[in-house]
Amino acid sequence: MKAVVTKDLGWKYSGRKRFAIEHVDLEIEENTFVSIVGPNEHGKTTLVSCIKGLIPSSFHGVWRGSVEIFGQDVRKLSAQRLAQEIGFVFADPEAQFTSMTVEEELVFGLENIGLPLGEVKERLDWVSQITMIGDLLDKSPYEISGGQKQRVAIASVLAMRPRIIILDEPTSMLDPLGKDFIFEILTNIKKETEMTVIVVEHNIEQIAPLSDVMILMYEGSIAKSGPPEVFFENSDFLIEHGIQPPQATAFIDNVRKLGDYNGPLPISLEASIPVLANILDHRLGGKG
Ligand SMILES: Nc1ncnc2c1ncn2[C@@H]1O[C@H](COP(=O)(O)OP(=O)(O)OP(=O)(O)O)[C@@H](O)[C@H]1O
Ligand SMILES: [Mg+2]
């Protein structure tokens, strides 16, 4: 089943001359991990806001086309239904907190939707493990680091078990260690849940290996999309559009131009090692 389908989607913020996004045709399969990349101001946040239904409900402007979530028009779903189906994590998690402790923060949302105590406890344990926040539960959400806050924000969204989770630059305000934690959590979500994950991210190196599909937004439209092995073909095009392929991918791409290899591009350092070993074997074997 398709989690998200957009057809000829367009949005122009009121007061703006140009459409922020235009002619966006997109199909996202259920239980896939999708990353949206692209330079600043090219429509990434606008696109995910349309998928989340924040646009048009909370903005003024001109809408074109359609967005469907599991076959239903987002503009016809109630705010409550949308919140059940889609969880949303921002770059700045601060705005989301309302409780005195991290545990209360997580429990509050779950009690609010009327879950029995046992289920609340079960979900609390589950999200604590997946987001590695077990040692933060009795702390105030205002007195922990930015990276820890982001983990709590992700935990509170995961706890609601939405079918789709959207993260808009979840690592952009964090230091390198904080970023690594978030990528580890994303890896856990991918492995341990059937959620459809849509993440807007500038860190190509770390997001590419996790992605089933990558989408390049450029000047408000999809300039390129596909699984990473396909997406990173024709690196010149990507570089012209502000995207630097992962180092390992770029390296093997260059080796490939020497004619020693014509297989698929590896997306991570780990995946490039056997490729390189093979090429060396072949070369040395050829000479011996
Ligand atoms: N609330 C708004 N009102 C008017 N114009 C907006 C609004 N939000 C975004 N825009 C404009 O829409 C276009 C796309 O912006 P958007 O925020 O979707 O880009 P983005 O790819 O998410 O950028 P970034 O990487 O900087 O987050 C830009 O020209 C931007 O100035
Ligand atoms: Mg944005």
Residues 195 and 286 in one domain: no
Q: Are residues 85 and 108 in the same domain?
A: yes
How much distance in Å is there from the Cα of 275 to the middle of ligand 1? 40
The DSSP H or E segment spanning 263 is: none
Best substitution site from 12, 21, 35, 45 to test ligand 1's pocket, by max atoms within 8 Å of Cβ? 45
User: How many whole angstroms separate alpha carbon 162 and alpha carbon 117?
Assistant: 19
Name 68's bridge partners. Answer: 5, 73
Tell whether 195 and 233 lie within a shared domain.
Answer: yes
Is 252 found in the same domain as 227?
no
Q: Is 279 exposed, middle or buried, given 0-12, 13-18 or 19+ CB atoms closer than 10 A?
A: middle
Ligand 1 within 6 A of CB of 46 = yes
pLDDT digits (tens, 9 = 90+) for 67-80: 999 999 999 999 99
* 16 Cβ below 6 A of ligand 1: yes
73/192 same-domain check: yes
Same domain, 187 and 261: no
Residue 110: how many CB atoms within 10 A of its CB? 22
Cα(86)–Cα(83) distance, integer angstroms:
5
Cα(200)–Cα(170) distance, integer angstroms: 8
pTM higher than 0.75: yes
Express each pLDDT in 242-256 by its tens digit.
999 999 999 999 988
How many domains are contained in the chain?
Answer: 2
Please work out whether the CB of residue 163 comes within 6 Å of at least one atom of ligand 1.
Answer: no
CB of 58 sitting under 6 A from ligand 1:
no
30 and 109: one domain? yes
14 Cβ closer than 6 Å to some ligand 1 atom:
no
Residue whose CB lies within 8 A of the most ligand 1 atoms, among 42, 59, 243, for a mutation test: 42
Here the CATH number for the domain that contains residue 66 is: 3.40.50.300
Listed as ranges, residues in the chain with pLDDT below 70 are 286-288
What is the torsional sign of CA 233, 239, 241, 244? positive
Domain that residue 62 falls in = 2-243
What CA–CA distance (Å, rounded) separates 159 from 114? 13
